[in-house]
Amino acid sequence: MKRTWQDINTLINNKRRDKRNICTLKRPNDGGVTNDPTEIPNLINRHFATVGQNLSNQFPSSKHDFREYLKYPSPTNSFYFDAVTPLEVEMEILLLPANMAHGLYLFAAPILKGARTIISKPLANIMNASTKTCTNRANF
């Protein structure tokens, strides 16, 4: 198995990445070149932040609304959440770091982990009820 991963890494050149910094970059608007280390990240960010819009502008406008292509109308202002299971709650509790306190009353993680089988069902019920009724703790 190790040999397989070595071969895969060799094929995709995973170990030989060029790690040089970008020290010069061409400005898209005026064609000038900059080597200002504070301007380069802004140019890169601006490029990636506008890629979607620039690509979209290359397509002709449509006379049709996108909803016309949908088979079923989309319900407005709605979300759907799968029900949380007690097992999922237990698994999340087990992921808590042992040396940190969490939650409203800062219960220690070992206490929560020890009580996970007892508290997982009520916690799952509370979470599921809050998503069904669109309420949260502030509304109780």
> How sure is the predictor about 22, in pLDDT bands with cuts at 50, 70 and 90?
confident
Burial (CB < 10 A; 0-12, 13-18, 19+), residue 83, is exposed
Give the Å distances, CA to CA, from 56 to 34, 42, 52, 93, 114.
28, 22, 6, 44, 54
pLDDT at 3 over 50: yes
Across 10-26, average pLDDT: 73
**Measured between alpha carbons, how far is 65 from 32 in angstroms, rounded to an integer?**
40
**Measured between alpha carbons, how far is 24 from 32 in angstroms, rounded to an integer?**
10
pLDDT at 125 over 90: yes
The pLDDT value given to residue 140: 47
pLDDT digits (tens, 9 = 90+) for 53-107: 999 899 888 888 888 888 877 676 667 788 999 999 999 989 887 766 655 556 6
